Amino acid sequence: MADGSRPNREYAHRHLRFGWWSMLVFAGLGLLLETLQGFKVGAYLDVSNETRRMLWRLAHAHGTLLGVVHVLFGLTLRTEADRPLPRARLISRTLTLASLLVPAGFFLGGFGFVGGDPGLSVLLVPIGAVLLLSALFLLGSTVGGDEAAKGAGSRTKER
């Protein structure tokens, strides 16, 4: 059992689903941005809205790429199905939260911006970035490691 309660396949299923849905949502945002571009909507295209344009593009790009990260994470967990991932719950939650905060921070920062400064919601981005880096660090240090898996297993048993 991974992380004491759920097997890898359950996390894999969750992240695969999150990843594909995330890609759908943020690819959809891309389509919306293209529509704004196509119809020359001033609120998006005017030079005075350059900050908004940049932030919304960042939201689109980060959201989509983080969706891909979730899919990769899900696939990784599937390939490691027989080796429970230590701290899987923490990694899963951290990655999921990061994938919400980073694109949301960029997107919402596109409202209420002043000149070249994004709206205050952009503060969600560094929080999300720290969570993302933490999740990646945890993943990098635990995935595929037999010793780690053993350690995690023993800790699980101790509980």
Partner 1 sequence: MAPTTPAGDSWRPLGLVLVAALGFSGALAYGSLRVRTPHRPETAHAERPIQVADGGFVSSDTCRACHPGQYASWHRSYHRTMTAVATPTSVLASFDRVRVDQVNGRPMFLERRGDELWAEIDEPDWDGQGDAPPRIRRQVVLTTGSHHQQIYWYATGHGRLLGQLPAIQLAAERRWVPRRSAVMHPPDVPLVSESGSWNGICVQCHTTNGRPEFSTPFGAENLFVQTIDTRAVEFGIACESCHGPANEHVAANRSPLRRYGLHLTRTPDPTIVEPRRLDVHRSSEVCGQCHGLWEYYDEAAERQANSEGLPYRPGDQLTKTRFIVQPTLNLDSPTLKRLLKEDPNFVSDIFWKDGMVRATGREYNGLIDSPCYKNAVEGARTLSCMSCHAMHKPSGDPRALDSWADDQLKSEALGNDACLQCHGSLRDTVTAHTRHRADSVGSSCYNCHMPHTTYGLLKTIRSHQINSPSVQATLDTGRPNACNLCHLDKTLEWTSRYLDQWYRIPPPPALGSDERSVAASILVLFRGDAGQRAIIAQALGWAPAQQTAGTDWMAPFLSLLLTDPYDAVRYIAGRSLKTLPGYESFPYDFVASPDQRIVMRRRALDAWRDGGSAPGHRGEAALLFNPDGTFIAEQVTRLSAQRNNRRVFYRE
Binding site for partner 1 (CB under 8 A): 46-51, 114-117, 120
Alpha-carbon distance 71 to 20, whole Å? Answer: 7
Q: How far is the CB of 63 from partner 1 (least distance, A)?
A: 24
Q: How far is the CB of 75 from partner 1 (least distance, A)?
A: 20
Q: How far is the CB of 64 from partner 1 (least distance, A)?
A: 24
Please say which residue, 23 or 125, places its beta carbon nearer to partner 1: 125
What is the torsional sign of CA 125, 131, 134, 138?
Answer: negative
Please say which residue, 53 or 70, places its beta carbon nearer to partner 1: 53
Please say which residue, 8 or 121, places its beta carbon nearer to partner 1: 121
Please say which residue, 82 or 114, places its beta carbon nearer to partner 1: 114
Q: How far is the CB of 115 from partner 1 (least distance, A)?
A: 5
Q: How far is the CB of 109 from partner 1 (least distance, A)?
A: 12
What is the torsional sign of CA 75, 81, 14, 94?
Answer: negative
Please say which residue, 48 or 154, places its beta carbon nearer to partner 1: 48
Alpha-carbon distance 84 to 148, whole Å? Answer: 10
Closest CA to 33 of 19, 49, 17: 49
Other Cβ atoms closer than 10 A to 121: 18
Alpha-carbon distance 118 to 53, whole Å? Answer: 11
